[in-house]
Structure 1
């Protein structure tokens, strides 16, 4: 006997899936064109040629439908450009600089390709820009489901490179600095296309941009590592004889001593 969950979908189930997909696609186009606030559920149902009640049936609410659209767009991008977990595993604690640099380079090229692809796909690029400018409750969900796990993997690698804990402020700031470079190339495209189109347009230029971010970031991380190691060295430096035995005099006390002479 074949279990129901493994059985072939019925005609009604196939029709239902097709209707839900039509609603999702119509919502994607309208949310990208008009924004979340200006898009009505009725307009989505009409564009999908579906009964208005089916929007609530399949997605619960307008907010649920909007979140479903963002999740689907994010799923497509992550599937097309998955995070290079193999490179991160190769850069475990104790690995040499060359291995860690190669892992960082692969991560940056992957994330850069993903963001450029999202930028060129009108719905996702437009919706991401709107979410950053005027966040909706869906942004918090996407941060927890997509951004935070991705940043956790990046911070793990950065922490190894700079000799800091992945959840340290230093690792967070370094991750934001690295991601910020990629995001600038993504969202400042109109500015760059007008100032220096040859520097950022085309496959070769995009690869060169990613490589420059990788080299620039590695140099910055090396500087952070030197700062971290110097700080650790000062913290663990053996105290010399007599060092710290007397409290340093304040400027006020020194001036009083001079006046008594």
Structure 2
């Protein structure tokens, strides 16, 4: 593949990500994407076969870029505590969702992700298996290490979903948050502070669950 072909593919993916995100799959046309990418329709069909093929490629590109740019275990080593690993995981989520180098909040590619999270298409299945499920497993293992016991999948998954939900809510409800709590708006400048709060709040909840597990274990003796 030549450099020019690669450049063409990148332009198509970039344009398609924004248009799919803002208009949705049904209302997006290959013609509109071709015009935005400054290529002809034949070039889009050559590289991606059809609209569904392009849509799947956009999802893969968006998630691959986000997760490789902001890995959930960045800077971690064998000396890192599970609490530190959780902090890194949460901050990486905020950076993917809100930063300009990530998905940029709730517009363009961020809106595309929101659409898929709310109403997954068949094209989203590979993304779930390749990116979301492994990161869910990673988060569950971190929570298990913090608890220092295995309380079972129901509790572990409830904790994981709660933590992920806190991070995602800032993207989904950014306009509402803007109206009720300006200081908590999910801007790039606030990422560090918001990640710290979600981390602290989540550690408190996990600590309470650990206490309940200890009490429950003592009562069963």
TM-score of Structure 1 vs Structure 2, range by shorter chain: 0.7 to 0.9
Q: Following TM superposition, where does structure 1 have runs of at least 4 consecutive aligned residues deviating by more than 6 angstroms?
A: none
In structure 2, the partner of 1:106 is: 88
Alpha carbons 2:11, 2:37 under 8 Å: kept: yes
Offset of 1:220 from its aligned partner? 0.6
In structure 1, the partner of 2:27 is: 38
Moved more, 13-22 or 152-161: 13-22
In structure 2, the partner of 1:55 is: 44
1:239-250 aligned within 5 A: none
1:81-100 aligned within 5 A: 81-84=70-73, 87=76, 89-90=78-79, 99-100=81-82
Structure (1 or 2) with the larger CA radius of gyration: 1
Q: RCO greater where, 1 or 2, for CA within 8 Å and sep 6 or more? A: 2
Matched, 1:131 2:116: yes
Output the aligned Cα RMSD: 2.5
Offset of 1:164 from its aligned partner? 4.3
In structure 1, the partner of 2:197 is: 212
- CA deviation vs aligned residue, 1:84-121 (integer Å, no higher than 9, x gap): 26537445xxxxxxx33222223222222222222437
1:109-258 aligned within 5 A: 109-117=91-99, 118-120=103-105, 122-165=107-150, 168-200=153-185, 205-235=190-220, 237=221
* SS, match of residue 83 in structure 1: coil
In structure 2, the partner of 1:245 is: none
> Do the aligned partners of residues 224 and 129 (structure 1) sit closer, same or farther apart at CA in structure 2, a change above 3 Å counting?
same
Alpha carbons 1:155, 1:167 under 8 Å: kept: no
Uncovered stretches (5+) of structure 2, i.e. residues with no partner: none
Offset of 1:161 from its aligned partner? 1.6
Residues of 1 paired with 2:179 and 2:203: CA distance?
29
Residues of 2 paired with 1:232 and 1:34: CA distance?
53
Offset of 1:134 from its aligned partner? 2.9
TM-score, normalised by the number of residues in structure 1: 0.73
Offset of 1:79 from its aligned partner? 3.0
> Do the aligned partners of residues 182 and 230 (structure 1) sit closer, same or farther apart at CA in structure 2, a change above 3 Å counting?
same
Offset of 1:22 from its aligned partner? 2.7
Residues of 2 paired with 1:88 and 1:124: CA distance?
32
> Do the aligned partners of residues 180 and 89 (structure 1) sit closer, same or farther apart at CA in structure 2, a change above 3 Å counting?
farther
TM-score, normalised by the number of residues in structure 2: 0.85
Moved more, 206-215 or 79-88: 79-88
Residues of 1 paired with 2:191 and 2:6: CA distance?
38
